Amino acid sequence: MACDFYQLATPGVQGLHPYQPGKPVEELERELGISNSIKLASNENPMGPSPVAMAAVQAALGESCRYPDASGYKLKQALSERYGISPDTITLGNGSNDVLELIGRAFIVPGDEVIYSQHAFVVYMLVAQSTGATSVVVPAREWGHDLDAMAAAITDKTRIIFLANPNNPTGTWFSGQALQAFMAKVPDDVVVVLDEAYLEYVTEADYLSGVQLQAGFPNLVVTRTFSKAFGLAALRIGYAVANPAITDLLNRVRQPFNVNIPALEAATAVLGDTNYLQRSVELNRTGMVQLEQGLTQLGVNWIPSVGNFISVDCGRDAAPVYAELLQEGVIVRPVANYQMPQHLRVTIGLPEENSRFLTAFASVLQRL
């Protein structure tokens, strides 16, 4: 009889389901035989990549027969200069999802508890599940993290707490003061992972990066990415900032060559392209206003967001709305798997993409 390989997998892995990414444009067009569709489904940068970064990629391709610099020296220097962080606090990852996994693998044994919020980024659940941890999901407050309730959920078994600021898919955020008050309640042997994937978009005066608090809280690990505001999602590069002891542990778990040469070069280059980041953030700001105004005109509610996306309340089951938008060549993201069955998450696009979404959305809501 054939072996049942599912029974061989660890209990954690048996409970996993494959990650559902945003639908690629090519796939939709192949399936429906249409063209000219737009994707506002994965919080990608709509401007296209930085030309400076792409020139660096071109130049780096000639080194493709070589292994990359496993220490990521140049990029760490650039990050160090830009953010005032020491190179020995940086762990580079194949996207920040990679470092989120490294943190799980470094610290979790089956039976440990991992705390995160309802509606939080799905990768925290995946890390907990795949390492055999028990997920403690704390109910959200007004869609955002309820930090008091999360602190109250800590037990002797808690090993990691995942926070996202801002959170995806809700776009909610919390202040530096709230973060500091939270950290003061967390025992120092519980690792707090603060995911700052959308940090660059946040303009709120009360917002504070966790990096500013790490001197006082050595158990605070901050993760960041080049996938969003820096426009390098395809190249897969992100990093963690943590105290040197945690960084040393993460680098033991890390595959030696987890970040490739074009990614290292592009990330280093885009850090120097300040104009690109400014334009990304400005485009996002105006696009957010455009979408909010359009949604107001349609009488549709949304969750106020400080990210590069907005979760829109369809006022009904969102699945048929999503399906009809696909027919119109507009790909957005269903978030029913985040316990948000009435919402669709829409990435801020170029002005014409935002208009196209608004027009398609109005027409779909009317005919459904």
Ligand X SMILES: *Cc1c(COP(=O)(O)O)cnc(C)c1O
Which residues make up the interface to ligand X (CB under 6 A)? 43, 95-97, 121, 164, 168, 195, 197, 225, 227-228, 233, 238
Residues 295, 312 contacting (CB under 8 angstroms): yes
DSSP-H helix ranges across the chain: 5-8, 11-14, 25-32, 51-61, 73-83, 96-107, 122-130, 147-152, 176-185, 244-253, 261-272, 274-298, 318-327, 351-367
CB of 127 to ligand X, least distance (A): 11
Closest CB to ligand X among residues 78, 164:
164
CB of 197 to ligand X, least distance (A): 4
Closest CB to ligand X among residues 228, 356:
228
Angle between helices 51-61 and 261-272 (to 10 degrees): 150
Bridge partners for 158 per DSSP: 113
Closest CB to ligand X among residues 233, 336:
233
Q: Token digits for 259?
A: 């970040």
End-to-end Cα distance, the chain: 50
Closest CB to ligand X among residues 57, 298:
57
Give the H/E segment covering residue 194.
strand 191-195
CB of 324 to ligand X, least distance (A): 25
Q: Token digits for 229?
A: 């505001």
CB of 13 to ligand X, least distance (A): 20
Q: Name the residue number minimizing CB distance to ligand X.
A: 95
Closest CB to ligand X among residues 95, 144:
95
CB of 135 to ligand X, least distance (A): 16
